[in-house]
Amino acid sequence: MTSGLASHGGKIPAGVPLRIVGDVHGDSKAFALAAETDRFVVQLGDLVDDGPDTPGVLRIMFRLLDEKRGMFILGNHDFKLARALRGDAVRGPALARTLVELPLDMREQTQATIQAAPAWVNMGAAFFVHGGFHLGMLTESAPPFPSGRPGPLLARALYGQTTGRVTGAGKPERLLRWVEDIPEGMTVYCGHDQRSTDGRPYIRNARQGGSAVFLDTGAGKGGHLSWVDIDPVSAP
C-alpha cells in the first residue's frame, strides 16, 4: 500500500486554494487534467464505475493522496465497490465491469483507501459531501465505514434525499429539499445528481441564504468532468 493511505482521514489543509472536482466515474483522461494543479484537490466521490478506466482514476487518486495534494469524499459507487471487495453480496452491471477490470494487486489498497474516505468534511463556509446535506452533519463527525447498512446521516451523505420510489428511468426518486436547510453563508459542494442543463455546475440557493453547487456533469456517462477553483477556507 502507498504511504498516503494511512493519512487519508478527511483533512483539508487550511489556508490553501482548493480545486473541487465532481463525479469522475472512470474518466481517467479528464481526471488527469483536473489533477494537474498547484491547488489542493477535493474530489466529491464516485471515482469509479461507468467510464473507460476506473483503475487509471484510482491510480491518480492514490498519487494525490501520497503527495498530500488531494483527497476524496466517499461516494455511493465507491462505497459499493469497497463492500464488494470485502466480500459483501452487492451487484450491478457497472460494478461487475469494474471488478473485472480492477487488477488483483490494486484491490487491497482500493478497499482500504475507500474505507478511510470521509463521508463529509465541514470547513465552515464550505461543506463537502457526495449526495446530500443534513443539519446533523454540522454537529456530528463523519462516521467510520460501516460494517452493515449505513445510518441515516451516512445514507443522506451517500444517496441524497430519496422518497423510496423510483422514476420512469428506474432510478431512485431524489429530492432537493435538503438545500433549504443550508445555513446562511455556507456553500455545500456535492455531486451524485446530474442536475445541470447547460454542461456547467448547477447552483441552487436556499431561502436561509446558503447555497449548493452540484458538480456532476456526466463524466464517464456521456458528459464531461467539471471542477471549480475556490479561495482558501478555514475550518470552523
User: CATH number of the domain that 215 lies in?
Assistant: 3.60.21.10
Q: What is the largest CA-CA distance in the chain?
A: 49
Within a domain: residue 13?
Answer: no
Within a domain: residue 201?
Answer: yes
**What's the confidence (pLDDT) of residue 9?**
56
pTM of the model: 0.93
pLDDT tens string, the chain, 236 residues long: the values are: 333 343 455 689 989 999 999 999 999 999 999 999 999 999 999 999 999 999 999 999 999 999 999 999 999 999 999 999 999 999 999 999 999 999 999 999 999 999 999 999 999 999 999 999 999 999 999 999 999 999 999 999 999 998 888 876 677 888 899 999 999 999 999 999 888 889 999 999 998 899 999 999 999 999 999 999 999 887 66
Q: What domain count does the chain have?
A: 1
3-class SS string, 148-183? CCCCHHHHHHHHCEEEEEECCCCCEEEECHHHHHCC
- For 107, the domain range is 18-230
**What's the confidence (pLDDT) of residue 2?**
39
Within a domain: residue 145?
Answer: yes
Say what the alpha-carbon torsion angle 78, 81, 87, 92 is, to the nearest 10 degrees: 130
Give me 216's grid cell: 456532476
Backbone angles phi, psi at 177, to 5 degrees: -60, -30
Within a domain: residue 5?
Answer: no
Say what the alpha-carbon torsion angle 102, 105, 106, 111 is, to the nearest 10 degrees: 100
Backbone angles phi, psi at 77, to 5 degrees: -70, -40
Q: Which amino acid is at 185?
A: G
